Structure 1
Amino acid sequence: MKTLQKLIKFIVPIIIIFIGCSSEENIQTELKSDVKETASNLSARAGLKPIGSGVMMQAFYWDVPAGGTWWQTVESKVQDWSNAGIDAIWLPPVTKAQNGAFSMGYDPFDYYDFGEYNQMGSVETRFGSKSELQSLIGEAHNAQLSVIADIVINHNSGGDSEVNPINGQSNWTDFNPLSGKFFRTYNDFHPNGIHNNDSGAFGGFPDLCHHQNYVQDWLWKNPESVAKYYKNVIGFDGWRFDYVKGFEPWVVKDWKNEVGGFSVGEYWDGNAGTLDWWTSQAEVSAFDFACYYRMRDAFEGNDLNHLNDDMLWKRNSTRAVTFVTNHDTDEIFSGKMLAYAYILTHEGYPTIFYQDYEEWLNKERLNNLIWIHNNLASGTTNILYTDNDEYVAKRNGQNSAGLVVYINNSNSWQERWVETNWSNTLIKDYTGHSNWEPVTQSGRWVKIQVPPKSYSVWAPK
């Protein structure tokens, strides 16, 4: 998550909410009504593409246009994305945050305000209203796409000031959300009567204590918990956990075991061994930051030998979500298309960044790579050759014939003899970058070529 600049503290009217038998009944009635209204949406989810069968789209970037139109923007694109081979979309944090209509959502205040309560200076979130969000999710499901929620549970923001008797200091930990759900006080944050801190605080925000039963109940355990409300009422299918370095892996594991759904953590670390450790502890996937940094070294540093280095997908491809850039990194480097050719032909679950797809790169070429990923890129991987400028690898095939990918970071055409999995077989470059159609020898060797600063992908014709 981007390091947020210090947010302006809004003066929030103190709303006194009486919680007695009648209000409890009203909440339960409202929940049952919401669940009933979404029952048809839940039954329709059986027709979704399996997550991991295609490619994930990160359906936002940092500072998308404010004004409450983003959900409509994304809704207009989901069918085209599905047609291209996308199987899931990852949305930004969807509920009201301290900075109201200007927030990207990473400073969460009310986990149940999806853009319907007038608090934190606005009714809608930066992205739109609750009804617009549910319309987007419904349209995504109609397009067979799963919807991944960005969940920020390390820290909160926007509470009123109160004295914490543990340390005698005033903190912004008195949360009175207008949704009437998940009120919080100093005892739900650090320090408290259980311990002073956990794995890590972020940006000076109040740090939630996940060892408190009350916090666990509201986040994932109770029938009205954040996790169950997101899944059963709003319609989310999976989770992207923000800043998981800030709390222990068991939190994500418990959440996933309680409510299910695809889960991936943002453990920002370039060490493949550390990522492998975290995924084994949390029993979910992680973004492959090791792969991200090695690609940057390879394509920006002009040394493709770095693609031989350790990455999470090489240790456990079923837990690796690969990416070229995201809302936190989003720098433009010269080898982006080569990097996409890498992740879309290799193991792991690849992610495409919204601006790369819709604004910055060649959409036709990306769609071609998505097709290659979904139709040719299966089986184990063997690296056939690397040097500073050239990289050749093959996928051995599982539900397809496999492929050979040839990446060239030099300024001239390159040719190379490689050993394939195919004997006496006519092959072609499925990217269209080469018009060669060679026949492999009886010993499975063949000469292939690749244009400058480009890539080719070879498989039986």
Structure 2
Amino acid sequence: MKVILQAFEWYLPADGKHWKRLAQTIPDFKKLGLSGIWLPPASKAASGMEDVGYGTYDLFDLGEFDQKGSVATKYGTKEDYLELIKQLHENGIEAYADIVFNHMMGADDTEVIEADVKAEDDRLNEVESDKTVEVWTKFTFPGRKGKYDDYIWTSHNFTGVDYDERTEENEILEFEGHEWDDNVDNENNNFDFLMGADLDFSVPETVAQLEKWGKWFVDTTQIDGFRLDAIKHIDFEYFKTWLDKRQEQMEKEPFVVGEYWSDDIEKLEYYL
């Protein structure tokens, strides 16, 4: 039986020292007989050091580049993160990464496109059609300057957002040429959209980028498993392929747990 600790909480100080604090606590983890620890999201998020990590900005920035106001994330630098995982392994403890694929936030530039406005409580109900909107969907990652990956994310990669910069209004916008994924939780009739710029998993370039990052991340960190964020909002078929490839890459079956908020046991059983 695995004994796993969630090794963080929402209100930790934003001092960039959490990876180092955890490394210092490893002897206590070992005494407690922990099998592994769940680490918070390691990538640079939209609010920099003030961000808990779920507002994903640049997956390839693990606290290495001066972006969003700092080099470090809330928890520390890439060097600190890799050293923590190394020390955990030396003490027989596995490390699990928090993976946030549902959305991206903190775009570097806007685009003007056409979108349909959807009802907040019924995402399939169209309130207004073919509206010209200005949306934050262009991610250029100027601080990273193309290191590890030079792909530029645009509205092509996303299904929608919830803010129109042109009118400064919050509204659910489904982009022209895109549709919410069908294979998601049916809350609000369709709960594909949660927040930020919602990734479109029907776009080959989006899927290819997440695969490229997954391989790079596992090779870079030697992580042992994953906690998958917001899976009720992501195409139910998506992670099977991504995880199969990670298992092949890791040459072992990784520990995996998904976050699915529901009080309906049948929904959870269906997903599994």
Q: TM-score range by the shorter chain?
A: 0.7 to 0.9
The answer (yes or no) to whether the contact 1:54–1:85 under 8 Å persists in 2 is no
Could you list the per-position Cα deviations for residues 287-340 of structure 1 after superposition, in whole angstroms to 9, with x for gaps in the alignment? Answer: xxxxxxxxxxxxxxxxxxxxxxxxxxxxxxxxxxxxxxxxxxxxxxxxxxxxxx
Distance 1:241 1:228 in 2: 16
Report the equivalent of 1:270: 263
TM-score by length of 1: 0.47
**2:166 aligned with 1:197, yes or no?**
no
Report the equivalent of 1:150: 98
Q: Quick check: which one's strand share is greater? A: 2
Q: 1:213 aligns with which of 185, 198, 204?
A: 204
Distance 1:264 1:118 in 2: 31
The answer (yes or no) to whether the contact 1:96–1:125 under 8 Å persists in 2 is yes
SS in structure 1 of the partner of residue 89 of structure 2:
helix
Q: Quick check: which one's helix share is greater? A: 1
**2:146 aligned with 1:185, yes or no?**
no
Report the equivalent of 1:328: none
The answer (yes or no) to whether the contact 1:187–1:193 under 8 Å persists in 2 is no
**What amino acid does structure 1 have at the position aligned with 2:154?**
T
Q: 2:243 aligns with which of 256, 259, 262?
A: 256
Q: 1:80 aligns with which of 15, 19, 28?
A: 28
Could you list the per-position Cα deviations for residues 108-157 of structure 1 after superposition, in whole angstroms to 9, with x for gaps in the alignment? Answer: 10001111111111111010001000010101111111111111111100
Decide which structure has the larger Cα Rg and report it: 1
Q: Cα–Cα, structure 1 residues 88 and 194, in superposed 2: closer, same or farther, change >3 Å?
A: farther
Distance 2:230 2:60 in 1: 21
Give 1:40-189 correspondences, 5 Å limit.
53-159=1-107, 160-165=109-114, 167=130, 168-177=132-141, 178-179=143-144, 180=146, 181=149, 182-189=151-158
TM-score by length of 2: 0.78
Matched residues, percent identical? 32
Distance 2:208 2:140 in 1: 17
- Measured after TM superposition, the shift of residue 100 of structure 1 is 0.4
Distance 1:79 1:218 in 2: 38
The answer (yes or no) to whether the contact 1:239–1:263 under 8 Å persists in 2 is yes
The answer (yes or no) to whether the contact 1:60–1:92 under 8 Å persists in 2 is yes
Report the equivalent of 2:234: 247
Could you list the per-position Cα deviations for residues 369-407 of structure 1 after superposition, in whole angstroms to 9, with x for gaps in the alignment? Answer: xxxxxxxxxxxxxxxxxxxxxxxxxxxxxxxxxxxxxxx
- Measured after TM superposition, the shift of residue 169 of structure 1 is 1.4
- Measured after TM superposition, the shift of residue 197 of structure 1 is 1.7
- Measured after TM superposition, the shift of residue 59 of structure 1 is 0.5
Give 1:263-342 correspondences, 5 Å limit.
263-279=256-272
Distance 1:219 1:121 in 2: 25
Distance 1:189 1:124 in 2: 27
SS in structure 2 of the partner of residue 86 of structure 1:
coil
Instruction: Tell me how many residue pairs correspond in the alignment.
Output: 222
The answer (yes or no) to whether the contact 2:5–2:36 under 8 Å persists in 1 is yes
Distance 2:179 2:206 in 1: 16
**What amino acid does structure 2 have at the position aligned with 1:202?**
L
- Measured after TM superposition, the shift of residue 83 of structure 1 is 2.8
Q: 1:235 aligns with which of 222, 234, 237?
A: 222
Report the equivalent of 1:312: none
The answer (yes or no) to whether the contact 1:55–1:86 under 8 Å persists in 2 is yes
- Measured after TM superposition, the shift of residue 102 of structure 1 is 0.5
Distance 1:54 1:92 in 2: 19
Distance 1:54 1:240 in 2: 14
**What amino acid does structure 2 have at the position aligned with 1:62?**
W
